């Protein structure tokens, strides 16, 4: 576990190795069981189960509950939260054999992404603000994969902190350490930072500090 300071708030970030996390199907709730059954192959099902066991292990530690006793609910945008512990916020992200869980006293978002294999102009145009696109066009080809994935994961963490996901288009704002997002009559003031990530991955953390 590592601690990060965002907007004066301590955020704990736990790395879960999906190849090593024990698969405890008995920890999952009915929704998690149903989702696990929908995966087309065993490897993907096991990664999902491992990520959710790791999530429950971390949340059990944070709440003092047994992992299977943690009750996961979803907000209006589908973001999982702990209805019985409204002051404890968390977020989960998984990519390949890595998962990250962030825990804080304010709404958080976390994202981990494998570097994009084919960083095309078309893909960049779906993620980057016009100002960021100008930088993109000036970049050498061999820097584009990590650059685009860094911005992708940063924006994804920001949108996950606000819970809106892609209801706010990533091209509508520039990635920065502090971002103001307006959505549905609300403004989210979001702090964001890069996270240490395994080789070949980008990861980011974000926190809403005016909730
Ligand atoms: C669900 C979403 C919030 C993130 O998805 P993702 O990056 O594909 O996947 P991650 O592993 O990082 O996050 C998934 C987890 O986020 C959580 N989550 C789901 N909805 C969420 C929401 N509205 N807000 C925050 N977190 C959410 C869940 O815990 C989910 O885990 P689970 O599927 O195992 O239950 C959504 O924004 C999405 O579908 N994004 C697609 C990716 C994309 O096109 N990004 C553009 C670049 S910014």
Q: What is the rounded average pLDDT of the residues 138-157?
A: 97
Contact 127, 170 (CB under 8 A): yes
pLDDT, tens digit (0-9, with 9 covering 90-100), for 55-67: 999 999 999 999 9
Summary mean pLDDT of the chain: 97
pLDDT at 190: 98
The average pLDDT across 29-35 equals 97
**Domain spanning 2-208: which CATH class is it, in words?**
alpha beta
Positive or negative, the CA dihedral 206, 109, 3, 15 is negative
Domain-by-domain residue ranges, the chain? 2-208
Q: How confident is the model at residue 211 (pLDDT cuts 50, 70, 90)?
A: confident
Q: In angstroms, what is the span from residue 106 Cα to ligand 1's centroid?
A: 18
Ligand 1 pocket, residue 89 CB under 6 Å: no
**Residue to substitute in 165, 171, 206 for testing ligand 1 pocket (most ligand atoms within 8 angstroms of CB):** 165
Determine how β-strand 80-81 pairs with β-strand 73-74: antiparallel
Contact 113, 95 (CB under 8 A): yes
Q: State both tokens at 207.
A: 């926190």
Give SS3 for 127. helix
pLDDT digits (tens, 9 = 90+) for 170-195: 999 999 999 999 999 999 999 999 99
**Considering only CA atoms, which of 62, 60, 164, 66 is closest in space to residue 109?**
164
CA distance 22 to 56: 12
At residue 55's C-alpha, the angle toward residues 53 and 59, to 5°, is 115
pLDDT in tens, 42-56: 999 999 999 999 999
Average pLDDT of span 118-138: 97
- CA of 115 from ligand 1 middle (Å) equals 17
Ligand 1 centre to CA of 125 (Å) is 20
Q: Which regions of 150-185 does DSSP assign to beta strands (E)?
A: 178-183
d(CA 38, CA 56) in angstroms, rounded, equals 20
Nearest CA owner, ligand 1 atom 18: 79
């Amino acid at each position: 576990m590592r601690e990060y300071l965002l907007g004066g708030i301590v955020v704990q970030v736990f790395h879960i190795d999906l190849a090593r996390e024990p698969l405890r199907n008995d920890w999952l709730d009915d929704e998690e069981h149903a989702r696990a059954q929908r995966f087309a192959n065993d490897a993907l099902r096991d990664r999902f189960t491992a990520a959710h066991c790791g999530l429950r292990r971390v949340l059990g530690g944070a709440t003092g509950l047994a992992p299977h006793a943690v009750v996961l609910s979803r907000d209006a945008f589908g973001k999982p939260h702990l209805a019985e512990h409204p002051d404890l916020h968390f977020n989960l992200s998984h990519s390949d054999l890595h998962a990250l869980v962030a825990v804080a006293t304010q709404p958080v978002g976390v994202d981990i992404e494998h570097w994009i294999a084919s960083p095309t102009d078309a893909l960049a145009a779906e993620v980057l603000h016009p100002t960021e696109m100008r930088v993109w066009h000036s970049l050498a080809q061999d820097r584009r994969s990590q650059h685009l994935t860094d911005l992708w994961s940063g924006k994804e963490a920001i949108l996950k902190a606000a819970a809106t996901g892609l209801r706010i288009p990533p091209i509508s704002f520039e990635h920065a350490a502090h971002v103001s997002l307006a959505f549905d009559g609300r403004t989210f003031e979001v702090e964001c930072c890069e996270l240490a990530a395994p080789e070949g991955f980008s990861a980011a953390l974000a926190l809403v500090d005016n909730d």
